[in-house]
Amino acid sequence: MTKDTTIDIQIIEKEIENAIDEKDLYRKKIIKMYEEDKIIEKAGEIKGPKSSAIAKDLKEKFSLIDNPAKIYEKVLNFKNYKDSYFESILLIRKEMIDSRNNKLFYSYLFMISHYIELVIKAVLLNKNNDLPSNHDILKIFTNDKDYLIGIGLKLDYYEYCEKQLKQIGEYAATNDFSMCFRFPFDKNYQSKIITKKMINIKFSDIERIVNEQKYLFMIFEFMIVLSEKEIYKKVYDFSKNLLKEVDMYLEK
């Protein structure tokens, strides 16, 4: 496990920038491929039902190029909500540290848990997965490990985030992160939503936790970029392979 202190924020920023550049490069290649080869028109030269099937696939794939959010109608809404929670996190964190008010920690963790849940579920939509109905952010995150590593998230980044999510979970006596930082009781008015550790938290602990989380949000933003880059890559690979198939068919 790579220690948190070895994660360099400038390296993460550069990796995000590179991922965005790769996504844009895939997009340019796809558009050039369609423009130069006129692949849809070429597919129309194939006779029979195969032609309509190819044309349908091509139109569906090409419609994804301009904006990845078009792939799934709800992705853009997830990202908008995610941005709202993210901005709120920054404001609450600054006020909490400046005022040394440990009561703001409830709101801070509430915002974090919702932000993370929205990011993970947006990534799942980009992956073309059904969204889990639960709000256990650690479970949702760990269930998607293979996909995240597969699209380029470094293992030490993943393990860092997993460690931070576990730490957030230590303050909740329930897996339902949608509720655990809202109310001090469950539906039967039993005090088991927030732990005593949470109630008695010292400001020195808050400062330590906030400092340990300083890379968390940037890495989650990186996940969004990687999932969108993966979409463009799939469109490019599909188009390239299908163009070969069409050419081979027409050469017969």
What would the pLDDT profile of 48-102 be if each residue is shown by its tens digit? 677 777 777 777 777 777 666 666 667 888 888 999 999 999 999 999 999 998 8
Structural domain includes residue 2: no
Task: Say whether both 123 and 246 belong to one domain.
Answer: no
1 pLDDT higher than 80: no
Range of the domain at 241: 7-70+229-252
Work out the percent of the chain whose per-residue pLDDT is above 90. 29
**For residue 238, is pLDDT > 90?**
no
The verdict on 140 and 190 lying in the same domain is: yes
> How much is the pLDDT for 201?
81
Model confidence band, residue 44 (pLDDT cutoffs 50, 70, 90): low
Residues 100, 133, single domain; the answer is yes
Residues 186 and 87 in one domain: yes
CB atoms within 10 A of CB 17: 11
Asked whether residue 61 is assigned to any structural domain, the reply reads yes
End-to-end CA distance of the chain: 55
Find how far residue 226's CA is from the centre of its chain: 8
Angstrom distance (rounded) from CA 58 to CA 77: 26
CB-side neighbour CA atoms (13 Å) of 99: 11
Phi, psi of 59 (to 5 degrees): -65, -40
Judged against a pLDDT cut of 80, whether residue 134 lies above it is answered with no
Q: What is the pLDDT of residues 89-126, one digit of tens each?
A: 999 999 999 999 888 888 898 899 889 999 998 898 88
Residues 202 and 80 occupy one common structural domain:
yes
In a domain, 1, yes or no: no
- 153 and 107 inside one domain: yes
Burial class (CB in 10 A: 0-12, 13-18, 19+), 89: buried
